[in-house]
Amino acid sequence: MRKLELHWQILIGMLAGVLFALAMVQLDWGPKFISDWIKPFGNIFINSLKLIAVPLILGSLIKGVSDLKDISKLSQMGGRTIGIYIATTVIAVTIGLGVVNVVKPGASITEATRTELVENYKGDADAIKNKADKQQEAGPLQALEDLVPSNIFAAASDNGNMLQVIFFAIFFGIGLILIPEEQASPVKKFFDGFNEVILKLIDLIMLAAPYGVFALLAALIVESPSLDLFKALAWYAFCVVLGLSLMLCVYLLMVWVFTKTSPSAFMKGMSPAQLLAFSTSSSAATLPVTMERVEEHLGVDEEVTSFVLPIGATINMDGTSLYQAIAAVFIAQAFGMDLSLSAQLGIIVTATLASIGSAAVPGAGMVMLVIVLAQAGIPEAGLALIFAVDRPLDMCRTVINVSGDATVSMVVAKSIGKLHEPKVKNWDDNYKK
């Protein structure tokens, strides 16, 4: 496997995992064998990625911000990043609404299927609604308040608090710019070295990626619901996948127009991160690999990746917002509701905000969908309709979430002269010397 390129190795791992699981489910003891003896390796792989997310953000962002040497550059980059993130999200929601209104997947759901789905998944839908209710109880400025941690160690000890860690790292980096060079230099050197170590750990973890995705996909296959349910929801799933594919075309076009990078170079550079996003369904778990690929394989300067990508992983979810728009209108169609133009425009706003608020973990988009449904007056019980196919669609939308972050970081880097020739580092570069 050594000479084969990483994305091929990962693809082979995924395929082998699926085939292995399909063979194992034929045996009585197969599914239990996979949950007891294969799935844990997938979990270990995801954990090892999550393990380095917080140190990576701290190390690279502190280094990245202090390298800027000038606070006005930071605010310039920050403004552009947030502006382009919001613009791509609005494009994604609009594409989603366009597709779902043309294809009308909800119209093909029969009364019997609807009742069956609602009954089967009522419990799961209620659990999601409860989670969403808790989030909704918060006041209007809660998100802003949550941005500032009262204790950095408490913030860094929870992977769900990425934005707080990002806030601290930027704040610390600004402090580092403002103190005299003499005192700043050893601190900067420490974080430079720290950051290099973390990047090396990512290389090492990626050596295990083909085996990790094998285990993840095998576990997913034995846990997935029956094929009949998938068929009933085929049109809906088709709409989501079609919308996501169109969004990918938008990214390729943006990268080509703004940075003159060919679509194939972008896809080749990003494919290991995209495949990992697909296998883990989490942009947060994929973040370390996304950062490494964008920096080393697409040539974006670390000053930009360290700032744009961690923020993107937490707030920029174009795939999620597109899916939320399609799911909301699909549920409305399935319940025989006709959504007015103003209700659909409202969906653009709420889906954009809901995707910003979604955590970068599996299934988070569905929790925030509750808010989109409530705002548009669509029955929340409709969540049960789409539950069966949510996981595979979550895998697909996470690929788009990650690709969107990479696209924006390239565009931002180009606009401030920080896009270079890619320089790939292998895990054993120094070791060999």
Joined tokens for residue 410 = 């390239």
Contact status: 163 vs ligand ASP (CB under 6 A) = no
Which residue's CB is nearer to ligand ASP, number 310 or number 365? 365
Which residue's CB is nearer to ligand ASP, number 94 or number 401? 401
Q: Are 368 and 212 in contact (CB under 8 A)?
A: no
Contact status: 401 vs ligand ASP (CB under 6 A) = yes
Q: In whole angstroms, how close is the CB of 363 to ligand ASP at the nearest point? A: 5
Joined tokens for residue 317 = 């979810």
Which residue's CB is nearer to ligand ASP, number 66 or number 358? 358
Q: In whole angstroms, how close is the CB of 265 to ligand ASP at the nearest point? A: 24
Kindly report the number of other CB atoms within 10 A of residue 337's CB atom: 17
Which residue of 261, 274, 281, 344 would you call a contact of ligand ASP, by CB under 6 A?
A: 281
Which residue of 282, 316, 350, 352 would you call a contact of ligand ASP, by CB under 6 A?
A: 282
Q: Are 320 and 365 in contact (CB under 8 A)?
A: yes
Contact status: 362 vs ligand ASP (CB under 6 A) = yes
Phi, psi of 260 (to 5 degrees): 60, 25
Q: Are 359 and 163 in contact (CB under 8 A)?
A: no
Nearest residue (beta carbon) to ligand ASP: 365
Contact status: 397 vs ligand ASP (CB under 6 A) = yes
| Helix 181-207 and helix 283-296, axial crossing angle in degrees, nearest 10 | 110
Kindly report the number of other CB atoms within 10 A of residue 336's CB atom: 11
Alpha-carbon gap, residue 259 to 84, rounded angstroms: 15
Which residue of 78, 363, 392, 422 would you call a contact of ligand ASP, by CB under 6 A?
A: 363
Which residue of 296, 302, 394, 405 would you call a contact of ligand ASP, by CB under 6 A?
A: 394
Which residue of 58, 156, 351, 360 would you call a contact of ligand ASP, by CB under 6 A?
A: 360
Alpha-carbon gap, residue 96 to 104, rounded angstroms: 12
Alpha-carbon gap, residue 248 to 53, rounded angstroms: 25
Contact status: 291 vs ligand ASP (CB under 6 A) = no
Using the contact rule CB under 6 A, the part of the chain among 139-147, 245-253, 276-284, 408-416 near ligand ASP is: 276-284
Which residue of 103, 216, 364, 413 would you call a contact of ligand ASP, by CB under 6 A?
A: 364
* All residues at 6 or more sequence positions from 66 whose CB lies less than 8 Å from its CB, including other chains: 173, 176, 177, 184, 188, 191
Q: What is the 3-state secondary structure (H, E, C) of 44-56?
A: HHHHHHHHCHHHH
Contact status: 274 vs ligand ASP (CB under 6 A) = no
Which residue's CB is nearer to ligand ASP, number 66 or number 282? 282
Which residue's CB is nearer to ligand ASP, number 292 or number 303? 292
Kindly report the number of other CB atoms within 10 A of residue 126's CB atom: 14
Contact status: 358 vs ligand ASP (CB under 6 A) = yes
Residues 300-329 touching ligand ASP, rule: CB under 6 A, are 317, 320
Which residue's CB is nearer to ligand ASP, number 57 or number 62? 57
Which residue of 105, 365, 382, 404 would you call a contact of ligand ASP, by CB under 6 A?
A: 365
Alpha-carbon gap, residue 153 to 91, rounded angstroms: 38
| Helix 6-24 and helix 263-280, axial crossing angle in degrees, nearest 10 | 30
Name the site residues for ligand ASP (rule: CB under 6 A): 281-283, 317, 320, 358, 360-365, 394, 397-398, 401
